[in-house]
Structure 1
Amino acid sequence: MIEDMYITGVKLQKNIADRSSYVFSLPVIRNLDQLKLNKKITFFVGENGTGKSTLLEAIAVNMGFNAEGGTRNFNFASKETHSPLHQSIVVVKGVRRPRDGFFLRAESFYNVATEVDRLEDIRISTQKRFIDNYGGKSLHNQSHGESFMSLVLNRFRGNSLFILDEPEAALSPTRQLSLMVKINELEKQNCQFIISTHSPILLAYPNADIFVLNDSEIRLTVYENTEHYTITKQFLNNTEKMLSYLFEENC
C-alpha cells in the first residue's frame, strides 16, 4: 500500500541553475518530469548508458546515503565521482520514515567492505562487535557473492529502505533466487526496495513495478515486455539458431 512506502515519487526541479554536468544531457534525465512509485518493489531497467545507476545514485544520496554505498551513517569516499543530480531532484517522501536502510552498489562494494573492516578495528572493546552486523566475518574474507549475501542476510532488517544497484553482479542464478526470498520476507516487514538490474530472474519478482529507461522516457512496463525477458526466452528456446545467427553476422 502506498501509505506504507518511504518514497512515493521522484521529480526534477524546475529551475536548475547549473546544467553543465553530463547527466543533464541524458535524455531520460532531461525529460524527467515526475516519476510516481506505487509499489514497495520497483525495478529500473534499460540499456547501458541510459542513466539507471545515475538516477538510483541521485535518489540514494538525496536520501542521505553515502555515494559509494552503505548505511546513512557511512561517511567515506575513495574518490568523489558521483554526479550532482541529487541536488536537482526532489524525492517525494511518504508519511512514514524508514528506521534503517542500505545503498548497495556492485561497483563500489569493495570500498564498503573496507570501511566495515575499518569501523570494526576502531570500535570500543566493550561494545558489540561491529562486524557481527555483517555476519561476524570480514566481507573481504569471502567470495564476492558470499559477501553480498552475508550483507543481505545479516544487515538487512525490517522497516527499512533499500536501494540496490545491479545486485546480481556477484550472484549466481541460485543466489539470485535466494535474494528474491529475502526481499519477499523484508517486503512483509514494511521494507521498500528500489533496484536497478539487468537480471531477468530478479525482474520476475511478483507484483513489482518495472520502469524501462530508454533514450526518451521512463516507461512502466510488464515483465514479459522487457527486453531482458524476451531475449533470454528466445535464446534458451532457440540456442543453436541464435548462436549460428550471431556468429554468421561476425564472419
Structure 2
Amino acid sequence: MDGLFDDSFDEPGPSRDPFTDLALPVREVRGHPKAPADPATWPATVPAVRQVLREGLALGQITVLTGENGSGKSTLVEALAGACGLNPEGGGTGAMHATRSTESPLAEHLQVTRGAGAPRSGFFLRAETMHSLFTYYEEIGVGGMMHERSHGESFLALVEERSRIRGLWLLDEPESALSVAGCLALLDRLQELAAGGSQIVLSTHSPVLAALPGADLYELGEWGLRPSGYDDLELVRTWRAFLDEPACFLRHPD
C-alpha cells in the first residue's frame, strides 16, 4: 500500500480541534488523486462511498457510521483498514491470516492523511471474518482457546487482550457477537481506549454502540453520508418506536 499515506498538514476544518487532530492516526480519508476509482463501478456507485471519494471525510477521535445494509458502512471501514495496512480479514498490525477474499478494491483508491507523530499500529475487528480470526489467534497462541467460549465471550476477551494496542481501532458491526450487556461492556472498553489516545472508527446497527460518548455520528443512505445527532438517527428512532409498541411492527395471522 505504498503511496497511500499523505503526511501533509493542511489546516483542518473549523469543526475540528487542530491540536487533537494532528496526533490522530487518521485525520482524513479521500479518493487518491493518482489512483482514481471508476465512478461507474461498484463500490464507487454507492452514494456514501462516492461522497468520500469526491469530498473526503475528516475523522475525529471517535467516528460511528450507521445506516441500512448496503449503505456502504462496512465497505468504508474495510477499505480504511486496507489503506492503513491492516489485514482485511481482521487482527492487529502484522496479522497474516487469510481465508477467502471478499473485500472490495476500494482500499487501492483511498488516500489517508495521518497525524504528525501518530502511532501507526492498529487493530481491525470484522464481524464477517471473526471466526477465522479466532482460529488464527489460537494457532499463534494469543487469547487462549477462543473457540471453547461463546462467540461474545471470545470477542470481549480478544478486545481485552489486544487493548494494549494504542492507535487506530476499526470495528465493523461488532454487535453481531454481543448481547446488550456485551455491547455495554464493549462501550466501556472503547471509552478506555479513547481515553488512552486511540482513535476509533465503528460501523454499527446497534443503538447501544451508537451511543458511544464523544462520537461523531454519521448516517449513510441514498443521500450519501451526513452528520447526525443521536436522537435523529433512523436506527434510534426505529428501535424506540418498536420498543414502545412492538405489536405495531408485527403481522398477526388472521
TM-score tier after normalising by the smaller chain length: 0.7 to 0.9
Q: How does 1:106-145 map onto structure 2 within 5 Å?
A: 106-120=127-141, 131=142, 134=143, 137-145=144-152
Q: CA deviation at 1:37?
A: 1.3
Match of 1:247 among 244, 251, 254: 251
- Where does residue 9 of structure 1 map in the other structure? 28
- Is residue 161 of structure 2 the alignment partner of residue 154 of structure 1? yes
Q: CA deviation at 1:158?
A: 5.1
- Where does residue 123 of structure 1 map in the other structure? none
Q: Which has the larger radius of gyration?
A: 1
Q: How does 1:55-74 map onto structure 2 within 5 Å?
A: 55-74=76-95
1:51 and 1:166 mapped to 2: Cα distance?
Answer: 12
* Partner secondary structure for residue 90 of structure 1: strand
- Where does residue 26 of structure 1 map in the other structure? 46
- Is residue 197 of structure 2 the alignment partner of residue 190 of structure 1? yes
**Residue 18 and residue 190 in structure 1: after superposition, are their counterparts in 2 closer, same or farther (change >3 A)?**
closer
1:200 and 1:113 mapped to 2: Cα distance?
Answer: 26
1:189 partner amino acid:
G
**Contact residue 21 and residue 83 of structure 1 kept, 8 A:** no
Q: CA deviation at 1:197?
A: 0.4
Q: How does 1:82-231 map onto structure 2 within 5 Å?
A: 82-98=103-119, 100-120=121-141, 131=142, 134=143, 137-157=144-164, 159-231=166-238
1:35 partner amino acid:
L
Q: CA deviation at 1:96?
A: 2.9
Return 5+ residue gaps in structure 2 as ranges.
1-19
Q: CA deviation at 1:31?
A: 2.8
- Is residue 58 of structure 2 the alignment partner of residue 51 of structure 1? no
- Where does residue 7 of structure 2 map in the other structure? none
Q: Aligned-pair RMSD on alpha carbons?
A: 1.9
1:50 and 1:75 mapped to 2: Cα distance?
Answer: 29
Q: CA deviation at 1:183?
A: 0.9
2:29 partner amino acid:
V
1:247 partner amino acid:
R
2:223 partner amino acid:
S
1:173 and 1:35 mapped to 2: Cα distance?
Answer: 30
* Partner secondary structure for residue 70 of structure 2: coil
- Where does residue 235 of structure 1 map in the other structure? 242
1:18 and 1:150 mapped to 2: Cα distance?
Answer: 38
Q: CA deviation at 1:142?
A: 1.0
1:156 and 1:73 mapped to 2: Cα distance?
Answer: 16
1:75 and 1:139 mapped to 2: Cα distance?
Answer: 18
- Number of residue pairs aligned between Structure 1 and Structure 2: 232
2:31 and 2:74 mapped to 1: Cα distance?
Answer: 16
**Contact residue 123 and residue 165 of structure 2 kept, 8 A:** no
- Where does residue 37 of structure 1 map in the other structure? 59
- Where does residue 5 of structure 2 map in the other structure? none
| Higher share of residues assigned helix | 1
* Partner secondary structure for residue 77 of structure 2: helix
* Partner secondary structure for residue 140 of structure 2: helix
* Partner secondary structure for residue 25 of structure 1: coil
**Contact residue 102 and residue 156 of structure 1 kept, 8 A:** no
Q: CA deviation at 1:154?
A: 1.4
1:179 partner amino acid:
L
TM normalised by structure 2 equals 0.85
TM normalised by structure 1 equals 0.86
1:80 and 1:66 mapped to 2: Cα distance?
Answer: 11
